[in-house]
Chains A and B, each alone.
Chain A
């Protein structure tokens, strides 16, 4: 009888994790094994039949982190021996609590692991924990983030390392994370937003696009020049908004008034834009941070209609839009159901 050939990702992940922890100054045998187990668990994580996308932060000084995060809340859930089983228990017990903007923390103490959930900020504008602790992190606050960023794709991020992307699917290796591609597209949406609120507008759209990624819905979007009052003729087949949704204007209002009304307006538009992006067709943004249209369809030219793309109609539309770059369209974004993201933009 022939014996089977076992293939496991475990040794690969473990090897990468060891050097990752070393570079972060967080070496620990238990942590490295725990991370491998957590990565395994986080792939398409489900509880009670529901997909969950928890962000897990492994930290060394939660008190300092909470102090440094303005307007933060945290809820201690429990603790256990310093083992990988405790890390998995932390995920199990805390993941159902993270549906809104809460994240899980696992604190490495001298003799045990403690865990719970935390959040920060007051509105959609607030800096995200990930941006704050990881992307703009410092040596003093030792933190590692583990999360699923799209279908079967787990990301491990630290302050010092380049992100580690672990793919469990059959997708081709790519040096760029989907989040990076998203950021590139968002840059084109905020290109001509007033510099004083560009960062905030960008933060808002990052949250919108993250939500779409989490929902796991495919989507298509493009940007047009905000200086033109009409959408290009080729994009007219859809819902053209009589009044564009001007996100920078609402953000300005929120920053000036700092009241509940402006905040609720922004929250309202967040939901609407997510809904638009979940609809069939293309969502059209302007490079001034506005939404001009959604549910837009374009006719595929014959050359593309006959193309044998594996992605179906959405991919064909993407190719069609790419051909229009420089002819009224500034950039194009496609996100397939499995989280694969591509963008094209006017150089």
Chain B
């Protein structure tokens, strides 16, 4: 491996666009991915005060380019990294993964910096909000010049000024190392891995799973040997979402007849006594699929309009969510319930409330204990003013009291206490710190 440093993948960024560059004509000049025709259209629309058009156009260009670059890393790899069993080699990546997922993935691979990811998420929310068809034709509901400039700058700075977006060399080497060699437990990287932020644990597990599913021969054997070393080391600290992902992969390998791969992963699961995380049937896969559809709607354009349909589908699938699908389903439902900085999908709220009512106290305690600590989506929401206000109305005092007693983790206890006390500033503060601890920059 070329580097033994813990921060495995980090892109060597081009220097930021100078602050002094603020004119639209100068800004678009940095966008090497924009054709001259694009640049002209952006400038003309901007000068005609069509800021909505400028923002949406630039945003769409940026996110399409980002997704197409990500897809070059292999669709099945992307599917594993996102824990999306519904995506396969024939899936159109532009449609299948949401803008939020693309940004998150790019950040996780080190393709874009944490600051860029933060700004891109803000830009995404702004564009999404102002594109809602139900917004009144009011001056207040139009993107301002400043907002448009910020969006254009963010898209160019983060994505469009790169001639090629690719994962840093360290990341590629790391993947190659996992499939090309059998790592020893005294390998410095392995020693440091346990101490590294959760973000890396999750990434390593997902890379291993992807390698096991897709490789053959010596590469498969190396990946399995490394899984047998790494999974038992990380298992104790893995969240249920990741444990279920490993169990589900194992079950898929078995039913798909991949004897060697299934047997290799069996060894790792035997070591950690992890068979409780192997789903007993395929029912959970349908729930996971619908939960991902909810998240895709939530992250996409016209989100408030598109959320009710998949939410209703989830509701109609039955009141008890299978436990392997619970982490992703509860994340999807809470995403709709909490909304974003601009509001919520009103049409989806009634059904969401029904689903939330169906979640038992024990399941909620399970959620706090096993699904929240490293849940970047929800923690990100809890760093925002309006979603936090909605969060306060979700849980009864008695449930929170019970959860505080049962949850061991210090950060979680604090988060629950601040929730119990309706202390918005402190809650936002702890959510931000927890988000950072996962390994994200903001």
A: residues with CB less than 8 A from B are 64, 67-71, 120-123, 125-127, 131-132, 135-136, 138, 140-141, 195-196, 198-200, 203-204, 255-256
* Residues in chain B near residue A121, CB distance under 8 A: 254-255
Contact A141 B256 (CB under 8 A): no
* Residues in chain B near residue A122, CB distance under 8 A: 255, 282
12 pairs across A/B with beta carbons < 8 Å?
A68-B275, A68-B278, A70-B254, A71-B251, A125-B256, A127-B255, A127-B258, A127-B262, A132-B262, A136-B262, A136-B263, A138-B270
* Residues in chain B near residue A203, CB distance under 8 A: 257, 259
B352 contacts A by Cβ under 8 Å: no
Contact A70 B278 (CB under 8 A): yes
Q: With CB as the reference atom, state the residue of chain B lying closest to A64.
A: B275
Q: A70-B250, A256-B90 are in contact. Are A195 and B216 (CB under 8 A)?
A: yes
B119 contacts A by Cβ under 8 Å: no
Binary contact readout B274-289 vs A (1 if CB under 8 angstroms, 0 otherwise): 0110111110000000
* Residues in chain B near residue A138, CB distance under 8 A: 263, 266-267, 270
* Residues in chain A near residue B217, CB distance under 8 A: 195
Name, among B257, B270, B281, the residue most crowded by chain A CB atoms within 10 Å (CB to CB).
B257
* Residues in chain A near residue B278, CB distance under 8 A: 67-68, 70
> Which of B255, B260, B276, B281 sits near A67, CB closer than 8 Å?
B276
Q: With CB as the reference atom, state the residue of chain B lying closest to A70.
A: B251
Within B174-218, the residues touching A (CB, 8 Å) are: 214, 216-217
Contact B257 A200 (CB under 8 A): yes
A70 vs B275: C-alpha distance in the bound complex, in angstroms?
9
A131 vs B264: C-alpha distance in the bound complex, in angstroms?
12
A135 vs B266: C-alpha distance in the bound complex, in angstroms?
13
Q: A132-B263, A140-B270, A256-B88 are in contact. Are A199 and B275 (CB under 8 A)?
A: no
- Interchain Cβ contacts within 8 Å, total number: 79
Ranked nearest first, the 10 interchain pairs of A and B with the lowest CB-CB distance are A136-B263, A70-B251, A67-B275, A125-B257, A200-B257, A70-B254, A203-B257, A127-B259, A140-B270, A126-B255
Contact A196 B214 (CB under 8 A): yes
Q: With CB as the reference atom, state the residue of chain A lying closest to B258.
A: A199
Within B207-259, the residues touching A (CB, 8 Å) are: 214, 216-217, 250-251, 253-259
Residue count of chain B within 8 Å CB distance of chain A? 28
A13 vs B404: C-alpha distance in the bound complex, in angstroms?
63
> Which of B88, B258, B276 sits near A200, CB closer than 8 Å?
B258
B: residues with CB less than 8 A from A are 88, 90, 214, 216-217, 250-251, 253-260, 262-263, 266-267, 269-270, 275-276, 278-282
> From DSSP, what is the main secondary structure of chain B's interface residues?
helix
A228 vs B382: C-alpha distance in the bound complex, in angstroms?
64
* Residues in chain B near residue A204, CB distance under 8 A: 257
Contact A136 B255 (CB under 8 A): no
Contact B270 A136 (CB under 8 A): no
* Residues in chain A near residue B275, CB distance under 8 A: 64, 67-68
Q: A68-B275, A121-B255, A126-B254 are in contact. Are A136 and B281 (CB under 8 A)?
A: no
Q: Smallest distance from the beta carbon of B120 to chain A beta carbons, Å?
A: 33
* Residues in chain A near residue B253, CB distance under 8 A: 127
Q: With CB as the reference atom, state the residue of chain B lying closest to A126.
A: B255
Q: Smallest distance from the beta carbon of A253 to chain B beta carbons, Å?
A: 12
* Residues in chain B near residue A132, CB distance under 8 A: 254, 259, 262-263, 266
Additional A-B contacts beyond A127-B255, A131-B263, A136-B266 (5; CB < 8 A): A70-B250, A71-B254, A138-B263, A138-B270, A203-B257
* Residues in chain B near residue A131, CB distance under 8 A: 259, 263
A125 vs B257: C-alpha distance in the bound complex, in angstroms?
5
A321 vs B309: C-alpha distance in the bound complex, in angstroms?
63
Q: Smallest distance from the beta carbon of A265 to chain B beta carbons, Å?
A: 16
Contact B260 A199 (CB under 8 A): yes
> Which of A67, A136, A195, A255 sits near B256, CB closer than 8 Å?
A255
* Residues in chain A near residue B276, CB distance under 8 A: 67
Q: Smallest distance from the beta carbon of B215 to chain A beta carbons, Å?
A: 9
Q: Smallest distance from the beta carbon of B397 to chain A beta carbons, Å?
A: 39
Contact B270 A71 (CB under 8 A): no
Contact B216 A126 (CB under 8 A): no
Q: A68-B266, A136-B260, A140-B270 are in contact. Are A125 and B255 (CB under 8 A)?
A: yes
A105 vs B232: C-alpha distance in the bound complex, in angstroms?
30
* Residues in chain B near residue A195, CB distance under 8 A: 216-217
* Residues in chain A near residue B281, CB distance under 8 A: 71
* Residues in chain B near residue A126, CB distance under 8 A: 254-257
Q: Smallest distance from the beta carbon of A208 to chain B beta carbons, Å?
A: 14
Q: Smallest distance from the beta carbon of B262 to chain A beta carbons, Å?
A: 5
* Residues in chain B near residue A199, CB distance under 8 A: 257-260
A135 vs B259: C-alpha distance in the bound complex, in angstroms?
10
* Residues in chain B near residue A120, CB distance under 8 A: 254
* Residues in chain B near residue A135, CB distance under 8 A: 259
Q: Smallest distance from the beta carbon of B279 to chain A beta carbons, Å?
A: 8
Q: Smallest distance from the beta carbon of A255 to chain B beta carbons, Å?
A: 6
Name, among B88, B250, B254, B258, the residue most crowded by chain A CB atoms within 10 Å (CB to CB).
B254
* Residues in chain B near residue A141, CB distance under 8 A: 270
* Residues in chain A near residue B250, CB distance under 8 A: 70
A68 vs B250: C-alpha distance in the bound complex, in angstroms?
9
Q: Smallest distance from the beta carbon of B265 to chain A beta carbons, Å?
A: 10
A195 vs B280: C-alpha distance in the bound complex, in angstroms?
29
A147 vs B263: C-alpha distance in the bound complex, in angstroms?
22
* Residues in chain B near residue A140, CB distance under 8 A: 270
Q: With CB as the reference atom, state the residue of chain B lying closest to A124.
A: B257
A326 vs B281: C-alpha distance in the bound complex, in angstroms?
48
* Residues in chain A near residue B263, CB distance under 8 A: 127, 131-132, 136, 138
* Residues in chain B near residue A71, CB distance under 8 A: 251, 254-255, 280-281
Q: With CB as the reference atom, state the residue of chain A lying closest to B271.
A: A140
